[in-house]
Amino acid sequence: MKTISIVVPVYYNEGSLSHLYAALQKLEENLLQKQVALELIFVDDGSGDDSFFELMKIKRARPATKVIKLTRNFGNIRAEKTGYRYVTGDCYCALSADLQDPPELIEEMVDYWLAGQKFVICVREQREDPPLTTFFANLFYKLVRHLVIRNYPRGGFDLALMDKAMLPYMLNSGKNINTAMFAYSLGFEPTKISYKRQKRQFGKSRWTFAKKFNYFIDSILGFSVIPLHLISWIGITLAIVSFLYGAYVILDVLIKGIEVPGFASLFTLTAFLFGLTLTMLGIIGQYIWRIFDEVNGAPESVIEVELLD
């Protein structure tokens, strides 16, 4: 019998876990009819509510469930990758604990996998999110398609089923990485399933604007050198413009005589160039920090409790 492993990062999800478990029980029954077993792996990413208590209830009801608790909040991506270390199935996926990505989609994904597909993704065609969230999400994926991966799904995806052949690459990916984009970049041709992202019914999202912005920076800088190319071209352009302006000033002095330059224009130009320099240094610093974070030996996550079979 083949096995699918489902990794569920948990962060302040006490309200949805019982409902999620009920949905996963139904999914397990349906999968068994297809001769596919289910391996459940929950990773508590330092939740400050009763999420771990709810996970223990699931563990008692289903002893085969794996529960891992991290010492603090390391972030959804790192919690997800921690769960990947415990995957033993023939295929696997990461599932959000808030039920916005319906677990029943996994059954359809498994059908494609059983038919021979190694990579199946659920693409968001619509989403029941606040207007501002939808706006920034659409903007993010437009930038991703223009700057990083041209054929990346327009609505993006989080839920993806991957064959175990992809697991070593996912485990060896960098610390600051967008796992969905990384999986897509491996080159496996994805089978796409369209769905409507559900409205959050339980709890409050901890996916703050600051976290979304950092996620955007990680996604762009983690996969593209276009920002470095951009600042290089800006530098070259400014150098040419400065040279031409300098030549113009010299000719103007030779022809018309010495004039006192305007303070306002000089101050504006200096302030603009100074701000541009700091921006460029910031972009370079982001790349340097990612190099440092990869080589400094710090762990991606630290496990406090490990409850296996």
Residue 156: predicted pLDDT: 82
* Assigned token pair, 53: 């208590």
In angstroms, the Cα distances linking 260 to 126, 251, 267, 268 are 60, 15, 14, 16
Residue 258 reports pLDDT greater than 70: no
Using left for φ > 0, alpha for ψ between -120 and 50, and beta otherwise, residue 161 falls in beta
**Whether the Cβ atoms of residue 252 and residue 214 lie closer than 8 Å to each other:** no
Residue 223 reports pLDDT greater than 90: no
Residue 178 reports pLDDT greater than 90: no
Residue 268: predicted pLDDT: 65
Q: If you average pLDDT over residues 190-206, what whole number do you get?
A: 79
What lies within 8 Å, CB to CB, of 285 at 6+ separation is none
Q: pLDDT digit string (tens) for 108-166?
A: 999 999 999 999 999 988 666 667 777 777 788 888 888 788 888 887 888 999 999 99
Residue 263 reports pLDDT greater than 60: no
Q: pLDDT digit string (tens) for 71-86?
A: 999 988 899 999 999 9
Residue 306: predicted pLDDT: 87
**Whether the Cβ atoms of residue 54 and residue 19 lie closer than 8 Å to each other:** no
Residue 264 reports pLDDT greater than 60: no
Residue 297: predicted pLDDT: 76
Greatest mean pLDDT among 201-205, 269-273, 291-295 lies in 291-295
DSSP per-residue codes, 53-68: HHHHHHHHHSTT-EEE
Q: How far is CA 243 from the centre of its chain?
A: 43
CA separation for the pair 10, 96 (Å, rounded)? 8
pLDDT band with cut points at 50, 70 and 90 for residue 54: very high
Q: Is the pTM of this model over 0.85?
A: no
Which domains are seen in the chain, by residue range?
2-204+300-307 (3.90.550.10), 226-295 (no CATH)
Residue 27: predicted pLDDT: 96
Beta bridge pairs of residue 127? 197
Residue 107: predicted pLDDT: 95
Residue 148: predicted pLDDT: 80
Q: If you average pLDDT over residues 23-41, what whole number do you get?
A: 96
More reliable by pLDDT, 217 or 142: 142
| Alpha helices (H) in the chain, listed in sequence order | 17-33, 51-61, 76-84, 105-114, 131-147, 167-171, 179-185, 209-223, 226-256, 263-295
Q: How many CB atoms lie within 10 A of CB 166?
A: 19
Q: How far is CA 67 from the centre of its chain?
A: 23
CA separation for the pair 44, 50 (Å, rounded)? 10
CA separation for the pair 89, 1 (Å, rounded)? 10
Mean pLDDT of the chain: 85
What lies within 8 Å, CB to CB, of 265 at 6+ separation is none
More reliable by pLDDT, 142 or 66: 66
CA separation for the pair 216, 223 (Å, rounded)? 11
Q: If you average pLDDT over residues 88-116, what whole number do you get?
A: 94
